[in-house]
Structure 1
Amino acid sequence: MTEALFGLDTGQDDAARIMNRWIKNEWQAVEAALYRGKWFDYRFMNPVQATYLYAHEFVKAYKLAFSVNIDSEQARFVKPLDVERMFVEPEPKQDEPEKAFRKRAASHKMRTVGIWRGRMVADAMGIPYSVYLELAFHWTLRFWQQRHLPRPQQLYSDLVVDRATIGWEERQSAELFYSTLPQYKNGLYQEAMSMMTGDDSLEGSVLHAQNQHHEWLFAQCENRVNGHELLAQLVFHDQVLPLEKVKARLEDHRFEHFLSFANSEPIIQRYS
């Protein structure tokens, strides 16, 4: 059983308290707009939960970069960020000069805010955090001339965002990116559809995310030579795309061709 990551169970009340203490009001105001464009796995998280997840991915990406660029043996001992204390105010150490404490506290806040801002950038791009951080470290280090690795606040420069955008587009052509969260399974989609009463009350939450995910999947398959095989995988194997939507999109002869792959084995693996 996989160990739960710290912070992903943060409730709405605690999230609001953390945001009010650490995050500028204007940044908080942007969060609502990010929900409908961020990567699908994160659309059911509050911003603090998502930031904790980004922080965990940052630690993994940092250790990998340390292993490749500095010391593979020491990489496992490196701790670039204490995720559990990310939103905890530092306290003075015994006999620590006030000036040193203020500097340490400021550094802590800068690092935490850097994690938050980096997560917001990845959300605005609609890219999984692991992919964004891999690309961000790669392109930052291409022009890096310092002895230490980049800090969180140094991973969303204009250059990084520009190159990461290109890298994300290229990655999509090589890997099949989609969500396997229960919220995107066909069964839940059918259940949500059956509950519709004509008032569109569900359209702003689960159904909106599901419908956008379906459109994403159609776009992922559209320009691939094995598009019908992929559609069959998504419908019959992964069960994240409703059969009736595929039928509505395809002409009769193309739909018959698609159905011929119904019992085929998956031909491409989801990104990991």
Structure 2
Amino acid sequence: MTDEMEMRRELLTALVEAGKFIPRKYLSLEGDLMVTKWPAYRFLNPRRATAIFADDYITAYKNCVRAEIDKNRAETIQPLIKSDFNSNNSGYTNIWMARQHADELGMPYPRYLEFCFHFYLRRQRKQLPQPNQLRPNRDRNPDMAKAFYAELEKFWDDDRKKIEFANLTPMPQYCTDYYAELPAQKIFQDQLLQGFRLNPGNLNIFIGIRVLGLRQLTEDSCSALAPPDIFERTLDIAKSEMHSGSYTAESYVSPSQSELFQACFGVPGIEADKALVCEACPQRAPCQKLRELVARQLKAETGSADPLRLKALEKQRHYTQKSRDKTKALALTGVP
């Protein structure tokens, strides 16, 4: 089996498992979240992204225990039961939802978890937050939610975003050599340009790194950052500095077709006709084809393309029948 075939098989397995374990109302959000999530995760299927989030949650939890409670206990404590990730249960759904909140905010998972744990530690909570407690409920605790988002805005500011973008590991999916007009690629380029406009620095350094070194932007895409004559001079300076060794051209391995599949590719529950991200996506047709394959596989294995909905309906039918039987039994005894 070739590497490409193996990656496609693994993706199909991951999406079928997601369909078995996670309710559709959460899976249906993955298209919109692909647009907002941190760039490092935009080419990971959501089951893989959730596994990474879970590992980062365990690390953040243990770091807090080590620093604030008991450094010896931190070595043995198990804040998550990873065996839960292979079945439908509240524990796995909660960590999935927590990961989605980080994606909604567009934050790297370690930074999101760092903020959440320290937010609650400063409020002297008796216990560290579980995944379903990371995000305060606006309806149940509006004051806590207001404080959470006010502090988050200060924490996740433009300076911190600039640092995180600077530390982002170069990915071939974002190299202009492999540009395929994917929404994930377009959004990344827009973020780089917008970041420079909001927090401008030395333009020739920006061009030297992002255009010549990492090749994440083209000369044309940066041309509006300065008047034409200034831009041309700046570009010449950057090229001269590149020639003298100030910048190094990143060496990329050409991504396979599967490695260019975006995070929402084939995810069950996404309705392409309603999701904005699908409208002009060049992967729309093969994505829908995979989604249909996932549905067939789910039906073959569970009897339904949406097994959790079927399970809920069967549970409701059982409850209704039980209620009717009880009512009938009471009527036969003459008890009102």
Same fold per TM (> 0.5)?
A: yes
| TM-aligned CA deviation for residue 227 of structure 1 | 3.9
Would the aligned equivalents of 1:19 and 1:48 in 2 still touch at CA under 8 Å? yes
| TM-aligned CA deviation for residue 216 of structure 1 | 0.6
Would the aligned equivalents of 1:122 and 1:129 in 2 still touch at CA under 8 Å? yes
Corresponding residue for residue 67 of structure 2: 68
Amino acid corresponding to residue 151 of structure 1 in structure 2: Q
Q: How does 1:163-178 map to 2 (within 5 A)?
A: 163-172=151-160, 175-177=163-165, 178=168
Find the residue that maps to 2:13 and give its secondary structure.
Answer: helix
Asked if 1:86 is matched to 2:66, the reply is no
CA distance in 1, matches of 2:75, 2:159: 27
Task: Map Cα deviations across residues 68-125 of structure 1 (whole Å, 9 max, x no partner).
Answer: 1112344233321243x23235xxxxxxxxxxxxxxxxxx933322211111111111
CA distance in 2, matches of 1:173, 1:42: 16
Corresponding residue for residue 52 of structure 2: 53
Q: How does 1:231-270 map to 2 (within 5 A)?
A: 231-255=207-231, 256-262=233-239, 263=241, 265=246
Amino acid corresponding to residue 17 of structure 2 in structure 1: I
Q: Which structure: greater helix fraction?
A: 2
Would the aligned equivalents of 1:67 and 1:75 in 2 still touch at CA under 8 Å? yes
Amino acid corresponding to residue 198 of structure 2 in structure 1: N
Q: Indicate how the Cα distance of structure 1 residues 74 and 9 shifts in structure 2: closer, same or farther if over 3 A, else same.
A: farther
Corresponding residue for residue 150 of structure 1: 129
- Match of residue 114, structure 2, among 112, 134, 140: 134
Amino acid corresponding to residue 224 of structure 1 in structure 2: N
Amino acid corresponding to residue 219 of structure 1 in structure 2: Q
Q: What TM-score do you get using the length of structure 1 for normalisation?
A: 0.72
| TM-aligned CA deviation for residue 223 of structure 1 | 3.3
CA distance in 2, matches of 1:73, 1:259: 57
CA distance in 2, matches of 1:235, 1:80: 43
CA distance in 2, matches of 1:54, 1:216: 23
Would the aligned equivalents of 2:175 and 2:215 in 1 still touch at CA under 8 Å? yes
CA distance in 2, matches of 1:73, 1:10: 42
Q: What TM-score do you get using the length of structure 2 for normalisation?
A: 0.59
CA distance in 1, matches of 2:162, 2:108: 15
Q: Indicate how the Cα distance of structure 1 residues 241 and 112 shifts in structure 2: closer, same or farther if over 3 A, else same.
A: same
CA distance in 1, matches of 2:106, 2:9: 22
Amino acid corresponding to residue 88 of structure 1 in structure 2: N
Structure 1, 172-181 or 61-70: larger mean CA deviation = 172-181
Q: What RMSD, in angstroms, separates the aligned Cα atoms of the two structures?
A: 2.7
Find the residue that maps to 2:29 and give its secondary structure.
Answer: helix
Would the aligned equivalents of 2:162 and 2:195 in 1 still touch at CA under 8 Å? no
Asked if 1:22 is matched to 2:43, the reply is no
Q: Indicate how the Cα distance of structure 1 residues 82 and 171 shifts in structure 2: closer, same or farther if over 3 A, else same.
A: farther
| TM-aligned CA deviation for residue 11 of structure 1 | 3.0
CA distance in 2, matches of 1:81, 1:10: 28
Would the aligned equivalents of 1:9 and 1:49 in 2 still touch at CA under 8 Å? no
Corresponding residue for residue 186 of structure 1: 176
Amino acid corresponding to residue 208 of structure 1 in structure 2: P
CA distance in 2, matches of 1:39, 1:163: 20
Structure 1, 159-168 or 235-244: larger mean CA deviation = 159-168
Which protein has greater RCO, CA pairs closer than 8 Å, 6+ apart? 2
